[in-house]
Structure 1
Amino acid sequence: MSDLKKQATSMHKAASGLRTVGHCTAKPLQEFKAQSDDLGALGALGSLLSATGEIREGMHTLTRLTKQLEEEWEAEAKLVGEVSDAFDLLDVLIAAAAKKS
């Protein structure tokens, strides 16, 4: 197996891993978001400190940031997959050129 083929295989595996991140975080993220709307666990302490709104806003911010990370990971997976495909093609072209020589 050529070095380009090994790199392409490695990059393909990395891209596949990046694509699955969203599947792994979807349920926990949904549960986290749901909890941000139900901060009853803070009880009187949250009300006394007037912190409930700030905590809710912080949780919403974390949810948005997580979604943005998932979008970045998906874009990265696409790019890595395209580079992997390019390496595969280059490997085939090099092999074809070597056969002609």
Structure 2
Amino acid sequence: MSDLRKEAASMHKAASGLRAVGHHTAKPLQEFKAAAHDLDALGALGSLMHAKSQVREGMDTLVKLTKQLDEEWQGEAKLMGEVSDAFDLLDLLLAAAQKKG
């Protein structure tokens, strides 16, 4: 197996792992988002209302950031897959050129 083929296989495996992240985080992220809007455990006292609002905002921000990270990882996975495919093609072309020459 050539170095290019090894690199392509490694990149393909890494890209597959990145693509799967969203599948593993979707349910916990949904539950976390739902919990951000159910902060009754903090109580309804006036002094806690501000804290409750800040906690909710922080949790909403974490949800948004997690979604952005997932989108970024999906983009990186796509690019890694394309580079892996290019390495596979280059490896085939090099092998064909060796057979010719």
For 1:76 and 1:41, the matched residues in 2 are separated by 39
Deviations 1:39-79 (A, max 9, x none): 0111256x424211111111100000000000000000000
For 2:52 and 2:42, the matched residues in 1 are separated by 8
For 1:44 and 1:65, the matched residues in 2 are separated by 28
Letter in 1 for 2:19: R
Query: Is 1:40–2:33 an aligned residue pair?
Result: no
For 1:74 and 1:37, the matched residues in 2 are separated by 28
Give the match for residue 99 of structure 2: 99
Give the match for residue 25 of structure 1: 25
Cα root mean square deviation, aligned: 1.1
Look up the SS of the partner of 2:43 in the other structure.
helix
Same amino acid, percent of matched pairs: 73
Please show how residues 20-99 of structure 1 align to structure 2 within 5 Å. 20-44=20-44, 47-49=46-48, 50-99=50-99
For 2:81 and 2:36, the matched residues in 1 are separated by 36
Alignment TM-score, normalising by the size of structure 1: 0.95
For 1:78 and 1:41, the matched residues in 2 are separated by 42
Look up the SS of the partner of 1:38 in the other structure.
coil
Deviations 1:2-39 (A, max 9, x none): 00000000000000000000000000000000000000
Letter in 1 for 2:93: L
Give structure 2 stretches of 5+ with no counterpart.
Answer: none
For 1:28 and 1:63, the matched residues in 2 are separated by 10
Runs of 4+ residues over 3 Å off in structure 1: none
